[in-house]
Amino acid sequence: EAYWSIPVMVLISSLLASPKLLLHLCISTLHCIFESVFSKVRFWTAGACKVSNPPDKKLDERKDQNATTPTSVNYHFTRKCNYKCGFCFHTAKTSFVLPLEEAKRGLKLLQEAGMEKINFSGGEPFLHDKGEFLGKLVEYCKVDLQLPSVSIVSNGSMIKEKWFQKYGDYLDILAISCDSFDEATNQLIGRAQGRKSHLDNLYKIRSWCQQYKVAFKINSVINTFNVDEDMTEQIVELNPVRWKVFQCLLIDGENVGESALREAERFVISDQQFQEFLDRHSSVSCLVPESNEKMRNSYLILDEYMRFLDCREGRKDPSKSILDVGVKDAICFSGFDEKMFLKRGGKYEWSKADMKLDW
């Protein structure tokens, strides 16, 4: 301590006696500190730039090649419905519907991303604005976006002939949901409105489709109430371009679970029962079967907010809206299985201009 005390005291005395020397020493010390800090910053920045810049063009190209193209999209623009089908897996949890121009903006984004077919569904799509909102979207997709195929899935109860007169030219396919050719069974299922005949509507709409040159399609959900029915005669008579036959599917939060608005467990059938129904109708050439395995991940579904719905975990997990993040980013969270989409026959002649139909 004695050894160091004298030099230190001399140094302090010298500095106090010479303010210029003290100032110079302070400046030199600060310069060394800042130089050390900035050197580290330059090192960290250079490291970061080395990782991200320049971009890996080959990696970006591979990502683009692996990106999902929304070739066929199902847009459930409304959840409201006038029927109460016990197995419904897109229930009326909200009454939200996008403003028309926002819906059009989203459809244009999809078209620019490669969409060729749009299918409007619900809920009941003809319920909102008495079908005018739907008609304007159909016209926009066919005239402005020039989509090869524009289709609708409906329960048929709200459709009027004047809608065909105004918008029929722009529609390629109209699918009507019909689960039974027995009115009592439709009532049990919930596919009915009061005492109105669901089947009368079905046959009436079939004739309008023929008159206004719209391809007619039938969708049926096979469940415990209709699994033993033979629909061959009626389907052959109606002669739809496609008869989609779905196995009743459970979706957590929609038709099963504590937060669900439906209790669909009593409608569920086994794989064997479904196959027996298919075997019974094997002679129907337009039949397109869809088991739970085929259906769950092979549809690109947009909800009322234009969010893709991922059903891989047995529920509907939404992505961010394509209106906010674009199609490319949102579709990554869709859970879409393109191979299964093709396997189940999702791609077919879906433009009425290409169909060989007997009008």
Using DSSP, how many helices (H) and how many strands (E) does the chain show? 14, 10
Length of the chain: 359
Per-residue pLDDT, 293: 87
Successive 10-residue mean pLDDT values, the chain, 359 residues: 45 54 52 44 35 42 63 97 92 93 98 98 96 98 98 97 98 98 95 88 97 98 98 98 96 90 94 98 97 87 96 90 97 91 88 80
Q: Is 85 a catalytic residue?
A: yes
- Residue that is written with structure tokens 């819906």 in the block: 103
CA geometry: angle at 170 spanning 198 and 79, to 5°?
A: 50
Contacts of 208 (CB under 8 A, 6+ apart): 159, 161, 164, 168, 214
Q: Is 88 a catalytic residue?
A: yes
Per-residue pLDDT, 345: 85
Other C-beta atoms lying within 10 Å of the C-beta of residue 217: 21
Per-residue pLDDT, 126: 98
Whole-prediction pTM value?
Answer: 0.80
CA geometry: angle at 224 spanning 218 and 229, to 5°?
A: 55
Per-residue pLDDT, 23: 56
| Catalytic residue from among 32, 81, 248, 311 | 81
| Catalytic residue from among 32, 85, 248, 311 | 85
Per-residue pLDDT, 196: 84
Q: How far apart are CA 348 and CA 267, in angstroms?
A: 30
| Catalytic residue from among 88, 178, 248, 311 | 88
